[in-house]
Structure 1
Amino acid sequence: MGRAIAVTTRHGPVDAWRADPLDGAQRGALVVVQEIFGVNAHIRSVVERYAAEGYVAVAPDMFAPVQPHVELDYGPEGFARGRELAAALGFERAVDVVAAAAAQLREEGHATAVVGFCWGGSVAFLANTRLGVPAVSYYGARTVPFLDEKLRAPMLFHFGAEDGSIPQADIQAHRERHPDATHHVYEGAGHAFNRDVDPRHHHPASATLAHRRTLKFLEVALA
């Protein structure tokens, strides 16, 4: 069962959703970075799923420096508002929030990685290049402008082969600029294929396989 906590950042306090392994056994810790729709029921369930797998997991309210407690639906209005909030926050402040959450987990003695989805996938990539944190990026559609930044830790990318926001040329650019990272492309999957509350996008087989691969990656990266 998750609970609300606070994370102290350079931009003020930020609420977050945290879940801990029930049996006390811990494999490490994760900062889970939301999509543009906020720390909604889906992201809270992702946090709790990772806790069930043995990780202390925390999802900071990434938009808190601009507008706290945002939970948007997946329709056109929610999408438009999410894009506005992401632009207003900017990637530098987003990385600051992740840095504060990761530091708090490390202070507890946890080896820490970042897992991000969509916009959060691009933030996860920047957490790797700018903070040196192992990271997993699910369909980070805004990463291409930053691909010249050097990886500083293990990196895993997940892409949907049918994702219109990340064309094949962009996937190839990830491979060429970061050949040492791990890249997986899922046939039949589009954008947001892990979002199991949204039948328009969810691709169960790809989501299951990507989750399994993420756990294997984390086991090595946080060893």
Structure 2
Amino acid sequence: MGMDGDRTISLESYGLSRRNALKATASGAALGSTFALAVQPVQAQTMITTPTDGLTAGEVKVKTSDGKEMVAYRAMPASGTGFGTILVVQEIFGVHAHIADMCRRFAKAGYYAIAPELYFRQGDPKGYTEIPKLISEVVAKVPDAQVMGDLDSTVAFAKGEGKADTAKLGITGFCWGGRITWLYDAHNPAVKAGVAWYGRVVGDATPLTPKHPIDIAKTLNGPVLGLYGGADTGIPNDTVDKMRAALKDGNAAAKKSEIVTYPDTPHAFNADYRPSYRKEQAEDGWKRALAWFKANGVT
């Protein structure tokens, strides 16, 4: 069994298995240039690679509030300024090639997109071959408060570069990052909108994860679009239905939020490098995400 955040789910809900682990090491590779060993081999026949032509893209270093340096992958149009800003939040596997590609996709759409490596204090996910070990040794040790602060620092970095308009701030995240998307939307009053891809919405309160999306659903700052799979074995449909109900009882941003559930669709359906990828649903989700950000002032 593995887990996302604080609750256990099967490895199959990630579209992965221990047999898929490589024995080599990915440590030392540039951020966003490779994949964690735990997700190897990748599904090269479906993997999308967005070129960098017309973009400024690559690794940057973000100074955090405690004076540390956090590596991030950043992409934006090569010319112009005042771009809407999208925080892109990683899966449990860190900022790998797919997450970097999502940044480039947003940049091609005219955004400044940045994905910080939010585990950097706890460890490097790239070298792990076993998902349960990655989760217990790295992911489970990452406090929500730390993540919120590091995302705040990422916004400050984007503003400081002088190209992004952080008054037009959006956030999106996948799996582990989908849960963080809901939380950060409620944390930062500057967030105009969020798009949460198959992020867990319920969970047990712990010192590191004191609240979950269901707990903050009524107090969002910007409306959130949730994209979920109806056949996700790790996120039961009834928990998603509870989140829908909580949103209806919330503030204006909560009431404006929407959750789309794709029938017969697994977890990680946007992960084009994994067997869980579902092309039709992923493409529909991408179109919905762009439209959501545009409709809610992130453009």
The answer to whether TM tops 0.5 is yes
Aligned with 2:277: secondary structure?
coil
| Structure 1 residue 83, shift from structure 2 partner | 5.0
Q: Which has the higher helix share?
A: 1
Aligned with 1:35: secondary structure?
coil
Counterparts in 2 of 1:10 and 1:25: CA distance versus 1, 3 Å:
closer
The correspondence of residues 1-223 of structure 1 with structure 2, limited to 5 A, is 1=52, 2-11=57-66, 12-22=68-78, 24=80, 27-67=83-123, 69-71=124-126, 77-78=130-131, 80-82=133-135, 84-107=137-160, 108=162, 109-110=165-166, 111-132=168-189, 133=191, 134-141=193-200, 143-145=201-203, 146=212, 147-149=214-216, 150-179=219-248, 180=255, 181-198=257-274, 200-221=275-296, 222=298
Unaligned runs of 5+ in 2: 1-51, 204-211, 249-254
| Structure 1 residue 39, shift from structure 2 partner | 0.7
Aligned with 2:126: secondary structure?
coil
Aligned with 1:15: secondary structure?
strand
Counterparts in 2 of 1:79 and 1:116: CA distance versus 1, 3 Å:
farther
TM-score (norm: length of structure 1)? 0.90
Identity over aligned residues, as a percent? 28
| Structure 1 residue 91, shift from structure 2 partner | 1.3
Moved >6 Å (runs of 4+): none
| Structure 1 residue 168, shift from structure 2 partner | 1.2
| Structure 1 residue 22, shift from structure 2 partner | 3.9
User: In the aligned structure 1, how far is the partner of 2:279 from the partner of 2:151?
Assistant: 28
Counterparts in 2 of 1:170 and 1:83: CA distance versus 1, 3 Å:
farther
Unaligned runs of 5+ in 1: none
User: In the aligned structure 2, how far is the partner of 1:25 from the partner of 1:53?
Assistant: 14
Q: CA RMSD in A?
A: 1.9
| Structure 1 residue 139, shift from structure 2 partner | 0.5
Counterparts in 2 of 1:117 and 1:72: CA distance versus 1, 3 Å:
farther
Cα deviation 1:176-213 (Å, max 9, x = unaligned): 11121111111231100000001x21011000000000
Q: Bigger relative contact order, structure 1 or 2, given CA contacts below 8 A and separation 6+?
A: 2
The number of aligned residues is 218
Cα deviation 1:135-176 (Å, max 9, x = unaligned): 1110002x3242121212121111001101111111101101
Indicate if the aligned counterparts of 2:125 and 2:134 stay in contact, CA closer than 8 A: no
Letter in 2 for 1:173: K
Cα deviation 1:84-118 (Å, max 9, x = unaligned): 31211121111111111123224433321111000
Aligned with 2:88: secondary structure?
strand
Aligned with 1:144: secondary structure?
coil
